[in-house]
Structure 1
Amino acid sequence: MRSQHVCILLAAFDGERFIRDQIDSIIKQTHSDWMLVVSCDPSNDRTPDLLTEICLENPEKDIRIVRGPGKGSTANFISMFDLVPDEASFVAFCDQDDVWLEDKLAYQVSLLEHEDEPTMACGATFVANEDLSTMHLSLIPRRPPGFGNALVQNIASGNTIMLNRGAFECLQEAKHHLCTEIVHDWWCYLVVTAMGGRVIYDSHPLVLYRQHTNNQIGQSNDILSKVRRLKRLFLGDHRRRNDRIEESLVPLKDRFLDQNQEILDAFNQARRSGTLRRLLAFGQTGVYRQRRSSQMLLLLSFVLGKL
């Protein structure tokens, strides 16, 4: 029987308000074969002291605290990759301010334990307010996961990600080329799909995704949030992000599936072409977003040269 050991990676920074809730929900998991690595970036609050207290209160649990690099969330997550032990069959990412449902690990292990190819599981969440008193289901993708989607949209929320060993090793190979301006969950979606791995998006929510004023990355689809995203598009943020994605992926192209090499080349060539050629090339790039309105915005971005 394969090992079911899960290594959980939690990146912490100024997290004293909610980090105990998150770690308590890990301790209460029905799947007990886990270890937790917490990398704590230099903080302005009591997060380091609180983590020490939690360890002392739970001496029977395998919780390891390390000092983070202090270079942002993505760099903090990636810095923990070398701390994942060889016996870990699965690697899960964890935010510092959410709450896991008690069957989160058990459910995702059951999704991955019979997968022989590199596979990443992710999925829906209950999007909750600060005190978890109200919540709603996150948006569910309407189209299958794939590299053509990953180039222009992230559907893999980091607080839901679990990787089997094969998918984790793909990321280990790719990490030296990562630009840390790219959020770690999007980068995982890109690399795993590019290298031919499988992504399982499950609509069964396993996480209470807490929204609060200090969220580094929140989830909102109200009118104001959409206006902000449109503003970022016209300011060139999407183009700069795609430049960083290209820098991170091009050195890995020889590990991609042939079809994904073609998608990456077509996308990068199209976004640097003239207006008419961009418009004609749009349908041939193989990139897509999950919803019709978002796909139309993608087309507009192409036409305006904002990608």
Structure 2
Amino acid sequence: MIDILMATYNGESYVENQILSLIGQTHKEWKLLIHDDGSTDATVQIIKKYQKLDFRIHLLEDNIKCGGAANNFLHLLKHSSAEYIIFCDQDDIWMESKLNVLFSKIKNTTEPVAVYCNAYSYDGVKITANKVSLIKRDKLENSLFLNSGVQGCSLMFNKLLLDKLIDYPAYVYMHDHYITIGAISFGKLLYIEESLMLYRQHNNNVTGNVPVSILDRLKTFIKRGNPIIDQKHYDANKSFFDKFYEQFNQRQVSVFKAYIAFPNSNFFQKIFSILKNDFRIGNSTIILIIKTLLKKTIR
């Protein structure tokens, strides 16, 4: 059984198509658990319509307002009981094989694990890119400086990982970032190259539109206002380290401490730290060094 966790808020324009794409999944053993964050449009009415049509759809009505998508997803995690869990955004569309492909990758794993896939970028009319994610990650050294987690809507993980993480740190910035760092710290983070959903780009995206063209990615990279480290992700990484310090091995402790010390280091100390700790942006040390040369450290 897979728990699909959907956080909704004023999604009347999109949520019906997403629910229909879930009903059409080739893997049928799932439960959709939805928590709405105080929608003022027809989102809840649409959900209740489909709740009557499919017994696998459940709306959690507890009158709790979470105040944002990240807290809404974390709230839903507290109500999940299945052996496998996947996040679901209200505004995407899943390919019919998505659940089956992700589940097949981790179903026989006996350790904490997460798996993520790629996605097509979709503007509501046409596909604008074949892959949203271009940078792979699988360890702290190539993840901490990415200022993100893998896309939450692409991420499936097992209960063994959730059990490790269900007691949250003092500060979590985004749900997907939290699960990503948890997977690479306490288990495995696997990747499937295939694009298994339409990732909708629109003005109301919670995390903003993702740059998908090479030109847009280059513009984002060279923009001087973008720091090496985003303050909110830095605070979340530090909070994660403080929470789980005693569970890390010696190498992980060393890597986290070097990352935490990075903003207060001088230029030569930063370069030394990058090389010593094998810090990378994905698989590239050079890109991180270039960013260190060109950009502010943190903001």
Q: TM-score, normalised by structure 2?
A: 0.88
State whether structure 2 residue 67 is matched by structure 1 residue 71.
yes
> Aligned in 2, Cα 1:298/1:193: closer, same or farther, shift over 3 Å?
farther
Amino acid in the other structure paired with 1:6: I
Q: Distance in 2 between matches of 1:72 and 1:276?
A: 40
TM-superposed CA distance for 1:304, in Å, is: 4.3
3-state SS, counterpart of residue 200 of structure 1: strand
TM-superposed CA distance for 1:253, in Å, is: 1.2
Q: Which residue of 1 aligns with 2:268?
A: 276
State whether structure 2 residue 248 is matched by structure 1 residue 256.
yes
3-state SS, counterpart of residue 123 of structure 1: strand
Amino acid in the other structure paired with 2:91: D
TM-superposed CA distance for 1:155, in Å, is: 5.5
Q: Which residue of 1 aligns with 2:174?
A: 183
1:201 to 191, 208, 211: 191
Q: Aligned pair count?
A: 293
Asked whether the equivalents of residues 28 and 102 of structure 1 are also in contact (C-alpha less than 8 Å), the reply is: yes
Q: Which residue of 1 aligns with 2:153?
A: 159
Asked whether the equivalents of residues 38 and 64 of structure 1 are also in contact (C-alpha less than 8 Å), the reply is: yes
- Show the 5 A alignment for 1:52-131: 52-56=48-52, 58-66=53-61, 67-85=63-81, 88-131=82-125
Q: Distance in 2 between matches of 1:74 and 1:53?
A: 25
Asked whether the equivalents of residues 94 and 159 of structure 1 are also in contact (C-alpha less than 8 Å), the reply is: yes
Amino acid in the other structure paired with 2:178: W
Asked whether the equivalents of residues 119 and 131 of structure 2 are also in contact (C-alpha less than 8 Å), the reply is: yes
> Aligned in 2, Cα 1:278/1:295: closer, same or farther, shift over 3 Å?
closer
Counting aligned pairs with the same residue, the percent is 20
Q: Distance in 1 between matches of 2:231 and 2:70?
A: 20
State whether structure 2 residue 131 is matched by structure 1 residue 138.
yes
Q: Distance in 2 between matches of 1:283 and 1:105?
A: 39
Q: Distance in 1 between matches of 2:288 and 2:269?
A: 18
Q: Residues 98-145 of structure 1, C-alpha deviation per residue, up to 9 Å, x if partnerless?
A: 0111111111111111111111010211111123x3342225545552
Q: Distance in 2 between matches of 1:141 and 1:237?
A: 19
Q: Residues 30-80 of structure 1, C-alpha deviation per residue, up to 9 Å, x if partnerless?
A: 111111111100123221222122212x14334233345332111100001
Asked whether the equivalents of residues 274 and 289 of structure 2 are also in contact (C-alpha less than 8 Å), the reply is: no
Q: Distance in 1 between matches of 2:170 and 2:280?
A: 23
> Aligned in 2, Cα 1:170/1:297: closer, same or farther, shift over 3 Å?
farther
- Unmatched segments (≥5 aa) in structure 1: none
Asked whether the equivalents of residues 85 and 157 of structure 2 are also in contact (C-alpha less than 8 Å), the reply is: yes
Q: Distance in 1 between matches of 2:241 and 2:177?
A: 12
Amino acid in the other structure paired with 2:263: R
Q: Which residue of 2 aligns with 1:147?
A: 140
Q: Distance in 2 between matches of 1:110 and 1:96?
A: 24
Asked whether the equivalents of residues 7 and 69 of structure 2 are also in contact (C-alpha less than 8 Å), the reply is: yes
Asked whether the equivalents of residues 15 and 47 of structure 1 are also in contact (C-alpha less than 8 Å), the reply is: yes
Moved more, 71-80 or 289-298: 289-298
1:266 to 258, 275, 290: 258
Asked whether the equivalents of residues 194 and 257 of structure 1 are also in contact (C-alpha less than 8 Å), the reply is: no
Asked whether the equivalents of residues 104 and 206 of structure 1 are also in contact (C-alpha less than 8 Å), the reply is: yes
3-state SS, counterpart of residue 152 of structure 1: helix
Q: Distance in 1 between matches of 2:87 and 2:117?
A: 13
Asked whether the equivalents of residues 282 and 299 of structure 1 are also in contact (C-alpha less than 8 Å), the reply is: no
TM-superposed CA distance for 1:294, in Å, is: 4.2
> Aligned in 2, Cα 1:242/1:169: closer, same or farther, shift over 3 Å?
same
TM-superposed CA distance for 1:300, in Å, is: 3.0
Q: TM-score, normalised by structure 1?
A: 0.86
> Aligned in 2, Cα 1:6/1:114: closer, same or farther, shift over 3 Å?
same
Q: Distance in 1 between matches of 2:218 and 2:246?
A: 37
Q: Which residue of 2 aligns with 1:39?
A: 35
TM-superposed CA distance for 1:276, in Å, is: 2.7
